[in-house]
Amino acid sequence: MNKPVLVSFLVSGDPNPDATLKFMKALDKYSGVIELGIPFSDPVADGPTIQAADVRALSNGFKIAKSFEVLKEFRKESDTPVILMTYYNPVFKRGIETFVMQAKEAGANGLIIVDLPLQEATEYREICKKHEMGTVFLAAPNTPEERLKISDEASTEFLYLISTFGITGARESFEQMTFDFIKRARTTCKGKICVGFGISKGSHAESLIEQGADGVIVGSAFVDIIKNYGDSEEALVKLEELAKELSEGIEKGYEKRNK
């Protein structure tokens, strides 16, 4: 991840596993990283768009093993890094080491456990290190300096900067607070920083990359397309169009930053 990248998020199994694989392939062309969300019945960090996608996948009989199968199929054609996003409960129930080993075997490059605080993640981090599984932790605009440093050190793939307070979901524009947070993280952190929550168009990506982000994470905007178009050719076209727009925004922001 030398130049800034698009991190594209999809909910695994929404509306079905075969569709997820097609969607991953459609987004792959413009994505530096794909983040694959494992549906969970109580996704507290997610807004209504992704919560509804989780419900769609779970109501169609989704099982975690299906996420691993989809990833294995994707790996036959692509080596684009894939980060699995989940909550702690499914990992704990499966057994942390079992989950990490199965994710690794399927072809995952890293994991995000959104509700696992860093101070409680010692065992998880040790297991990930043992199995050469990447880790991604989150930081918010009110994260103190020292915690920001520790979170950066604990994140082997990138640090996930939450652009604003609250839950995921698209918004119109970003406040100065977000830009200030990126600049603060840029100064404090040694690793890569990617910004997520609320990004839905090329102009968003452009402004965030211009401020110094290494990537933008886009989820709800893609998931909205899937909600509206389902498992269809039109969905594939719309996903690719948005990914292209975001990718072009990233490129423009990078050019502005380097002027």
- Report pLDDT for 122: 97
DSSP 6: E
CATH number of residue 31's parent domain: 3.20.20.70
Closest C-alpha to 249, from 214, 216, 205, 212: 205
- Report pLDDT for 62: 83
Q: Within 13 A of 45's CA, how many CA atoms are on the CB side?
A: 22
Residues classed as catalytic: 35, 46
Domains identified in the chain, total number: 1
Do residues 27 and 240 make contact, with C-beta atoms less than 8 angstroms apart? Answer: yes
Which residues span the domain enclosing 97? 5-258
Mean pLDDT by 10 residues, the chain (259 residues): 92 93 98 93 69 75 90 98 95 97 98 95 98 98 96 98 68 77 96 95 96 96 96 98 98 95
How far apart, in Å, are the Cα atoms of 111 and each of 33, 138, 252?
A: 12, 12, 29
Do residues 209 and 7 make contact, with C-beta atoms less than 8 angstroms apart? Answer: no
